[in-house]
Amino acid sequence: MSSTESYQSAKRLVFVLSISMAMWGCGSNPDDDGGAAQLNRAVPVTPPTFIRAESDHMFSAMIANAGGTNRFFHFRSPTPLDKQTVIRMNRDVLYSGGVFDATEGLTIEFPEVGDGRYASVEIIDNDHYVVDILHEPGIYEVESPTDFVYIIVRLHLKSPDDVEDIRSVNALQDRFIVRTGSAREFVPRAWDAGSLDSLRNVYLEEAAQYDGYKGMMGKRGHVNEGTRHIAAAGGWGLLPDEEATYLLFQDSSVKAGVSYSGTFEVPENKGFWSITVYGGDGYIKNDSSYLSGSNVVLNEDGTFTVCFGDEGTWDDSPNRILAPEGWNFLLRVYRPGDQVLNGTYELPELRPNP
C-alpha cells in the first residue's frame, strides 16, 4: 500500500482536545470586558466582533458546567464509547476547565505531577489569544489584557482502562489551584444567537479549505490575524502548533478482514504520543483502539510496528489495534519536536499482512 498512492497524505488536523463545541463551550463586549448584558435587544454579530462573541459563548458554556465563575469543572473519566459527542475524540487526556476573574490578577498553583506524565495549563483571554501555557510545577502570577480568562488543564491519562491511573489523575486535577485577586462573576454581552450561528457556519465552510489551524492560535502578535477567526469557529480552545500536532491516516481502500502493518519512528516530543483508531464515521468503536508510548512494545532499533485488523486476523504480534470497517487513525503528538513541526516526520507505508 503506497503512502502516496493508496492513502491520503498525512494532514495536520486539530480536533481541539476534541472538546470544543461538544464540551467547553457565552462572555463580553469587545470594548467592555464582562459588561452588563444588554437588556433591550440582542447585539448582531459581525466579522469584527465574531471572535469575542464566540469566546463569550464558550466562556458561558463552561461557567454553566462549573456552576459559576472562578471555579473548575473537571472531566473525571475518559469519554465512554456510547457518549462520544464529536468525531475523533480522544481518551488519553483528562481535562479541567474554568473561567476566572483576572481583573486584579490571579495566581495558578501547578503541583508536582511526577511519573513523567504530561501536564499543561493553557490560559486563553476573552479574545481567543493565548496568554500563557505552563508545563512545570510552581506558583505563577498571571495578568491578562481582558478581564476574564479561560483556563484549561490537560493531564495525560496513560491508560484509559486503568482505574488506578484514572484515580491518580483525578487526584492531580484537584491539586491545580487558581486564586483570583477579585471574584466578579462573568456577565456576557447579549449577542444575537442567530447571527453568531450563521457567521460560524460561514467560517466553518471556509475552514474546509485548510488542512488544519496552523498559525491561527497563539499569543497576541504571533498569530495570523487574517485567519484566526477560522480557529475560533471550528476549534475554540485549541493548543498552538508547537503544543500539539495531529497526523491523520485515512484510506478508502482498506478492507475489513485484512490486517495491515506499518513500522513507525517514535515522533520527537517533550510530551507524549498516541495512536487512536476510528471507524469510517470518525467514532471510536471498541476498547482496543489505542496505542501510546506508555504501552507500546519497541523494536530493537527503537521503532515500533503496529498491526491493524479485526480479531479474525490477529496473531500474537505486539501493538495490535482493532480496526473496524472503514477504519482510519490519528497520531497525536503533544509538545512535538522539530521533526514533526517542520513536516519531515511521515507516517509509514502500511502493507497487508500475508
Residue 37 lies in a domain: yes
Q: Strands 148-156 and 119-125, how do they pair?
A: antiparallel
Domain that holds residue 168: 18-213
Task: Tell me if 141 sits within 8 A of 161, measured CB to CB.
Answer: no
Number of domains present in the structure of the chain: 2
The answer to whether residue 1 scores a pLDDT higher than 80 is no
Question: Which burial class, exposed, middle or buried, applies to 67 when counting CB atoms under 10 A from its CB (0-12, 13-18, 19+)?
Answer: exposed
**CATH number of residue 253's parent domain:** 2.60.120.1600
Residues 162 and 254 in one domain: no
The answer to whether residue 37 scores a pLDDT higher than 50 is no
Read off the pLDDT of residues 155-202 as tens digits, 9 standing for 90 and up: 999 988 899 999 999 999 999 999 999 999 999 999 999 999 999 999
Residue 274 lies in a domain: yes
Read off the pLDDT of residues 108-147 as tens digits, 9 standing for 90 and up: 999 999 889 999 999 999 999 999 999 999 999 999 999 9
Task: Tell me if 160 sits within 8 A of 78, measured CB to CB.
Answer: yes
Read off the pLDDT of residues 212-262 as tens digits, 9 standing for 90 and up: 788 999 999 999 999 999 999 988 999 999 999 989 998 888 887 899 999
Residue 206 lies in a domain: yes
pTM of the model: 0.86
